[in-house]
Amino acid sequence: MSVNKEIKKVTTNTLQKMKAAGEKISMITAYDFSFAKIFDHAGIDIILVGDSASNVMAGHETTLPITLDQM
């Protein structure tokens, strides 16, 4: 198993260059910090953190009750 030791900063400019070069871009959803950290260390290019964590992780009926700190 290989481990990506260098965590790179990915900007919109980086993504545009990757697309222009025909490089594949990886993206995944993380519902909390612990998973986001794992995915970051795995070298995932984009980590989406959305308010759906309110439904999926906190069990709310809507996305409205969750705060940024909770996400």
Tens of pLDDT, residue by residue over 3-43, are 556 767 899 999 999 999 999 999 999 888 888 899 999 99
Does a structural domain hold residue 71? Answer: yes
Calculate the dihedral angle through the C-alpha atoms of 12, 17, 19, 24, rounding to the nearest 10 degrees.
-90
The predicted model gives 52-67 an average pLDDT of: 86
Question: What integer pLDDT is reported at residue 3 of this predicted model?
Answer: 58
Question: What integer pLDDT is reported at residue 5 of this predicted model?
Answer: 63
Residue type, position 1, single letter: M
Per the structure, the complete domain to which residue 56 belongs is given by: 24-71
Does a structural domain hold residue 13? Answer: no
**Higher-scoring residue by pLDDT: 63, 68:** 63
Instruction: Using DSSP bridges, classify how beta strands 27-29 and 46-48 pair: parallel, antiparallel or unpaired.
Output: parallel
The predicted model gives 41-47 an average pLDDT of: 92
Q: Is the pLDDT of residue 64 over 70?
A: yes
Does a structural domain hold residue 54? Answer: yes
Does a structural domain hold residue 69? Answer: yes
State how many domains the chain has.
Answer: 1
Does a structural domain hold residue 31? Answer: yes
Does a structural domain hold residue 56? Answer: yes
Does a structural domain hold residue 35? Answer: yes
